[in-house]
Amino acid sequence: MKGNDLRGKTFFVTGGSGGLGRAISKLLIVRGAHITIFGRRPGPLIEAREELLAARLDDNQQVDMVAIDMSDYTKVHEAFVSQRRTADVLYCVAGGNHAENGFLVDIPARALETCMANNYFASAYAAKAILDIWVDDDEKEGLEHPHPRVRKIVFIASAAAFLSSPGSIAYTRKSSFA
C-alpha cells in the first residue's frame, strides 16, 4: 500500500454504516480499495453501501455489506470467512453508548454488559476472527510464500478512554480497555 493508492487491497470496516466508520470507508473507497462494511442495522448499511458505490474510482471495486451483531465471535468469524475477499486491513470502529448513559447507581447491571459487548467485545472478536483467518491463510500458503503478507488491524477508540465523563460510567471504563 504505497501512498494513497489502495487498488487491489481489501478493507473490512466494523461500524461502517455510520459516523466515523462510514467516513473511513469513504476515504478508502476513493483511493481504490475494496470495502466490506459491517453494522447492526440493514437500513443504514444499505445507505452507506450506495454512497460508497457512487464514490468508487471504477466499477471493479467491490463494496459489500453485512448486517451483524459483532458481539458474537462465531457469527463474526463466519461472516468474515464468507466474504468474497479476505481483508488486508481491518478497521474496528463499531461502538457507541447511547443506551448505557447514566451514573452507575442509576443504570441496570445489564447496561454494563451490553456496553462491553457492543464496544469492547465487538472489536476483540473482530480482531480475533481476522487473526485466525490470516494465520490459517499463511499456513495454507506454506512454502509458496515463506514470508507472511503484511496485514493490519486498526482500533478506533474514543477520547473517553483517557478522560472520564459524568454519566458515562459504562462507556468510559470500556474505552480504557480498548
Q: Residue 20: is it exposed, middle or buried by C-beta count within 10 angstroms (0-12/13-18/19+)?
A: middle
The answer to whether 123 touches 155, Cβ cutoff 8 Å, is yes
- CB count within 10 Å of CB 113 equals 14
Boundaries of every domain in the chain = 10-177
Residues 6+ apart with CB under 8 A from 8: 32, 34
Strand 152-155 to 10-14 pairing: unpaired
The predicted model gives 102-109 an average pLDDT of 82
Give yes or no for residue 103 having a pLDDT over 90.
Answer: no
Letter for the amino acid at 114?
Answer: T
* Domain 10-177: assigned CATH number: 3.40.50.720
Query: Distance between CA atoms of 144 and 3, rounded to whole angstroms?
Result: 27
Cβ atoms 107, 121 nearer than 8 A:
no
100 within 8 A of 171, measured Cβ to Cβ: yes
The answer for residues whose C-beta is within 8 angstroms of residue 24's C-beta and 6 or more apart is 13, 16, 91, 93, 156
What single letter denotes the amino acid at residue 41?
A: R
Mean pLDDT of 157-164: 68
The predicted model gives 121-139 an average pLDDT of 93
This prediction has a pTM of 0.86
Q: How far is CA 147 from the centre of its chain?
A: 26
Percent pLDDT > 70 in the chain is 81
Q: Which grid coordinates are listed for 121?
A: 467485545
Residue 100 has pLDDT above 80, yes or no: no
